[in-house]
Amino acid sequence: MKHFLLRGIVFLVVGIPVFCRAQMENTSFKMICSAIGQKDFFKARTLYNADQRQLSVVQQQFIEAVLSNAFNRPQASNQKIGPLLKAGGGLPDSLQLRLYRIREDNYVKLHQYKAAKTAVQELLNRYGTILKEEEKSDLENNLKLWTALEPVPPQRVQLRSSRIKMEKDKAGLNNLDMITESDTLSCIFDTGANLSTITRSAAQSLKLEVIPAGIDVGALTGNTVKADLGVCKKMRIGNNIIEEVVFLVLPDEALAFPQIGYQIHGILGFPVIEALREVQVTQDGYFIVPEKETDIHTASNMAIDGLSPLIQIDGRHFTFDTGADHTILYRSFFLEQQPQLIRSWKPVKIGLGGAGGKKEYEGYKISHTFSILGRNVQLDSISLLKEPVSNETVYGNIGQDLIRKFKKMTLNFDRMFIKFD
C-alpha cells in the first residue's frame, strides 16, 4: 500500500558508487557497488559470486555485510560490520557512514531498539558535520523513534500452523483479524507497509500502550503527518501469538478516504508478516501459516530494502506490495523500453496518492507480459510513470493484479523467496 513511510527509515546504500570511483579502481567492485546503489541486490549477488576472488578482504567483508542485510540475515551482517567499523579497514568516512545505517537497520529487524538508537547516535556524533540537511533530519527523526521504543522488549512469536479465511474490504484488499484480549480488529495484510499502522480510535479500543512520539511520517505525495507509537503486548493471528508488536498510531482522518467512504483501521506490515517466517495466500482468500516451510532449490528471488520487500522478475527488481491493488511501473522501466512505449501507447495523466493527498504524473497505460516460473502472465492497463517518483530506482511495484493470476502465493522470509503456483 505504501501510503505512509517513516521519514528516515530509508536505509539506502547511497554514495557507494562515488566511493568506488574515489577509493579503488577494481572494476568488479565498482559494478557490484553500482548495483547496490540501484537496490538491485540480486544483480550484486550474482556479480559477487562470480568475481569474489578479484576483491580484497575488506571489499568482500563490505559486500557481504550489505548482501546479508538485503537477504534478511541481520545477525550475519552485523558480524561483518563490527570489525570493519572497529578497525576502520581503510574505508573512507562515506562508506563507514553507510555501514552505520545498515547496522541500524539490522538492529531494527532484530527489534533491538536501544541498539538501533545507539547506532544512530554514533553516526550523528561521528558524521553529523558532513551529512546533508535532509539526511540529518531523517536520522534525528529515527533517533526520536528508537528513543521512544527503547524500553519496549523485542517482538516475540509463537508459531503454529494456521488456515484463516480473509475478508475483502471495500477497496478489495485482503483483511486479517488481529485478536487481542480486548477486541478484534480487521487489518489489511500489507507487505508494503514498513511498520504496522493503526488509527488512534482502534488503538484505544484494543487498549494498546500508546507512546507519545511526534514522529514525522511521509505520505507518497510528500506531505507529512505526525504519528505516535503503540505497543500491543499480545495479539493473535490464527493460532500464532505475537507479542510486543509496534504500531504507528495515526489520527483516524489520516487513514480515511472520504471520497469513497472508506476508512482503514489497521495495517499489518512487514515486521509482523516476516515474524511468521512463511505465509501462503490462496486465490480463494485463505491465509496459511504452514506446519513445515516450503522446500525449493533455486536462488532466492526476494530481498529487503530497509523494511520493504523486493522481488526479481525477468531480471528486473521491483518492490512487492500485497496491499497494492494494482501493479505500477516506474521511470526505470520507461527508460529501458522508451522507443517501443512511445510508438505503442498514448501519454496520459496518472493520479497517485493516498491518505496524504493526490498528485498527477505524466505516463502511460500499457499492457505487459511478465515471465514467472516459466509462465507468461499478461497484465493490462498498467500505470507506467514517465516521471521519477522520489529517489526510486526499482522498475515498479508489484501488486494484487499479478498475484491474483495464481492459485497460491508463498512468501518465505527465512530462505527469502516468493513462489507462485
Lowest mean pLDDT among 2-11, 42-51, 56-65, 92-101: 2-11
b/e burial code for range 176-192 (CB count within 10 A of at least 16 → b): bbbbbeeeebebbbbbb
pLDDT of res. 275:
94
pLDDT of res. 77:
97
% of the chain residues with pLDDT over 90? 61
pLDDT of res. 270:
87
Question: Higher-confidence residue: 171 or 117?
Answer: 117
pLDDT of res. 256:
86
> Which residue, among 177, 184, 160, has the nearest Cα to 240 in the 3D structure?
160
pLDDT of res. 223:
67
Domains in the chain, ordered, with CATH? Answer: 4-110+112-149 (1.25.40), 156-277 (2.40.70.10), 302-420 (2.40.70.10)
Question: Higher-confidence residue: 4 or 103?
Answer: 103
pLDDT of res. 257:
82
For range 306-333, the mean pLDDT: 90
Residue 10 has pLDDT above 60, yes or no: no
Per-residue confidence band for 7, with pLDDT thresholds at 50, 70 and 90? very low
What's the mean per-residue pLDDT of the chain?
87
Helix (H) or strand (E) holding 90: none
pLDDT of res. 322:
80
Report the relative pairing of strands 408-412 and 417-420 from DSSP bridges: antiparallel
> How far is Cα 338 from Cα 151, in angstroms, rounded to an integer?
51
pLDDT of res. 353:
62
Q: Is the dihedral of CA 363, 367, 373, 374 positive or negative?
A: negative
Question: Higher-confidence residue: 399 or 373?
Answer: 399
Encode pLDDT of 159-185 as tens digits.
999 999 999 888 888 899 999 999 999
Lowest mean pLDDT among 90-94, 99-103, 253-257, 328-332: 90-94
For range 107-115, the mean pLDDT: 96
For range 250-255, the mean pLDDT: 89
Cα 310 from chain centre: 7
Phi, psi of 40 (to 5 degrees): -90, 75
Residues near 335 by Cβ (< 8 Å), separated by ≥ 6?
none
- List C-alpha distances in Å: 208 to 47, 179, 205, 242, 395: 46, 12, 8, 14, 38
Angle between helices 93-109 and 74-87 (to 10 degrees): 150
Question: Higher-confidence residue: 39 or 356?
Answer: 39
For range 317-340, the mean pLDDT: 90
Encode pLDDT of 336-368 as tens digits.
999 999 999 998 998 876 544 567 889 999 999
Encode pLDDT of 202-247 as tens digits.
999 999 999 999 888 865 445 688 899 999 999 999 999 999 999 9
pLDDT of res. 89:
60
pLDDT of res. 219:
53
For range 24-49, the mean pLDDT: 90
pLDDT of res. 15:
41
Q: Residue 131 CB: number of other CB atoms within 10 A?
A: 15
- Where do runs of H (alpha helix) occur along 279-419? 331-344, 400-403
pLDDT of res. 9:
44
